[in-house]
Amino acid sequence: MLRYLPICIFTLALIGCSPHLSLYQRMTAAAAPPHGVQQTQLAYIGDITTDAGNYHIATQRLILSGMPAPRGLAYRLLIFNDDLQLVASHDYHSNEAEPLWCEGSRVYLFGAGRLADLGAATGNAIDFRQGPNHPILIHEERYGSSGGTEAAATPGQ
């Protein structure tokens, strides 16, 4: 019986040393780009709290691969649940505004931007209070961002 003890200890040590995927690796796997597209950046920017629960926010930059001069695609704002499953994504254009930080149910932007799924409306913050699939662009006066306080757009208007 004691002759198997070293084998048992060695096996348990190997199991305890098994690699755990990092937050970055889990988010990258959940938001893997399709064939012909390469991820050039994935950046975790914070967490939001909504009526539907708590979510983790990241930004993702993608390019078309295999081209002499790779072309960029619209950047993506990614929303993950607590199991780090991708539950929503919203395209935005970086030349208008860049997501900076999260606070409460909002993602604050550098300047006034827009989301592709909300049309021409702009705002310096995205409010996800109604959940990850129901963003509302707003203008809010905040240091590090800009604007007023009226609602800029809601989906379906």
Q: Is residue 8 part of a domain?
A: no
Element (DSSP H or E) covering residue 47:
strand 37-50
Q: Is residue 50 part of a domain?
A: yes
**What are the backbone angles phi and psi of residue 13, rounded to the nearest 5°?**
-65, -40
Q: Is residue 94 part of a domain?
A: yes
Element (DSSP H or E) covering residue 148:
none
Q: Is residue 88 part of a domain?
A: yes
Q: Is residue 15 part of a domain?
A: no
* Parent domain of 34: 20-153
Q: Is residue 5 part of a domain?
A: no
The domain tally of the chain equals 1
**pLDDT tens per residue, the chain (157 residues)?**
556 555 555 554 444 444 567 888 898 889 999 899 999 999 999 999 999 999 999 999 998 888 877 777 888 999 999 999 999 999 887 677 889 999 999 999 987 887 877 776 788 899 999 999 999 999 888 777 765 445 455 554 4
pTM above 0.95, yes or no: no
Residue with tokens 């991708």: 86
Q: Is residue 80 part of a domain?
A: yes
Supply 147's token pair.
Answer: 């604007």
Q: Is residue 132 part of a domain?
A: yes
Residue with tokens 């001069």: 69
Supply 43's token pair.
Answer: 């950046």
